[in-house]
Amino acid sequence: MRDRYANLAAIRALDPARDYEQIFRTMLRFEFPWDMRLALNLAFNRSFSIPRVAETLVGTGELLERPRKRADDTGILMYEMVLNGFAHPRARAAIRRINQIHRPYRDFPADDYLYVVACGVVLPLRWLDRYGWRRPCCHEREATYRFFGELAHHMNIPGMPGSLPETEAWFEAYDRTHLLPSAAATVIERSTRERMLKRLPRPLAPLGNSLVSAMYDDRQRMATGVPAPAWPVRAALHATLKTRSRVIRHLHRPRPVGLFEDGIQTKTYPDGYDIAELGPE
């Protein structure tokens, strides 16, 4: 369709070094809303699988006792920054709350925090390369890197690599040596799986758990103790997602109304929420 690439044309007219917030917001709200939310879930799940992080999360009980609330809180804090930009009072409140939540764990190695940021950069772009209705352009790639780099800055996380290729290389090296099997990661994965099941395309829902496993790569399955799915399941997932991307590319117009047009709504907070009260008590 003639206007299918209108948003892309607008993005290419922007400067990713200056307009990265606007570009990343357009990716989430208009261009890839389903894919971005799923890929960010995958990114957070992977970052939770580092043994030291997994053991801490098991110890707090948040992800085990209140998995929906924890997932909704994480999503809200993230989306407040994306929707409003880092300079907005609501985004500043979200950053302040994120830093308060992590203050008891300030003795954690900085690289563990940097890994969470790198997951947010690398994994969504990989997902879009494979299953997006189009591959992200160079401006979108740079904007993704710069958005999470700015998040790292506001969280006082040192060591952010100087470019997207360097971030990808850093992620690979750290992931290869630190994403290791642990009982805590297995427990966390089971607790967060329900959220992933809700993201599956409806025709694939009956295959449930096997499809979630198919969305992980071998390294994450090994770390979390998830068995590899049978090849027909992997093939079914791949074929369905590829078909979906073609349908969207050829038959869909750009979204006239963006994701979260009416605000961020969750089942945990049907009547709204106070940013300062999100997260653990």
Q: Tens digit of pLDDT for each residue in 180-232?
A: 999 999 999 988 877 677 666 666 666 677 888 899 999 999 999 999 999 99
Phi-psi region of 157 (alpha: psi -120 to 50; beta: other; left: phi over 0): beta
Give me the pLDDT at residue 270, please: 93
CB 8, CB 143: distance < 8 Å:
no
Give me the pLDDT at residue 120, please: 98
Q: What are phi and psi of 16, to 5 degrees?
A: -65, -25
Query: Euclidean distance between the first and final Cα of the chain, in Å?
Result: 50
DSSP 8-state assignment for residue 268: S
CB 35, CB 132: distance < 8 Å:
yes
d(CA 28, CA 258): 8
What pTM does this model have? 0.94
pLDDT digit of tens for each residue in the chain (281 aa)? 568 899 999 999 999 999 999 999 999 999 999 999 999 999 999 999 999 999 998 888 777 788 889 889 999 999 999 999 999 999 999 999 999 999 998 888 999 999 999 999 999 999 999 999 999 999 999 999 999 999 999 999 999 999 999 999 999 999 999 999 999 999 999 888 776 776 666 666 666 778 888 999 999 999 999 999 999 989 988 998 999 999 999 998 889 999 999 999 998 999 999 999 999 87
Give me the pLDDT at residue 210, please: 84
d(CA 268, CA 55): 25
CB 268, CB 72: distance < 8 Å:
yes
Give me the pLDDT at residue 203, please: 65
**Quick one: which of 135, 164, 156, 120 has its CA closest to 17?**
164
Give me the pLDDT at residue 277, please: 94
pLDDT in tens, 111-130: 999 999 999 999 999 999 99
- Give 194-249 as a DSSP string: HHHHTTS-GGGGGGHHHHHHHHS-HHHHHHHTPPPPPHHHHHHHHHHHHHHHHHHH
Give me the pLDDT at residue 204, please: 63
Three-state secondary-structure class, residue 7: helix
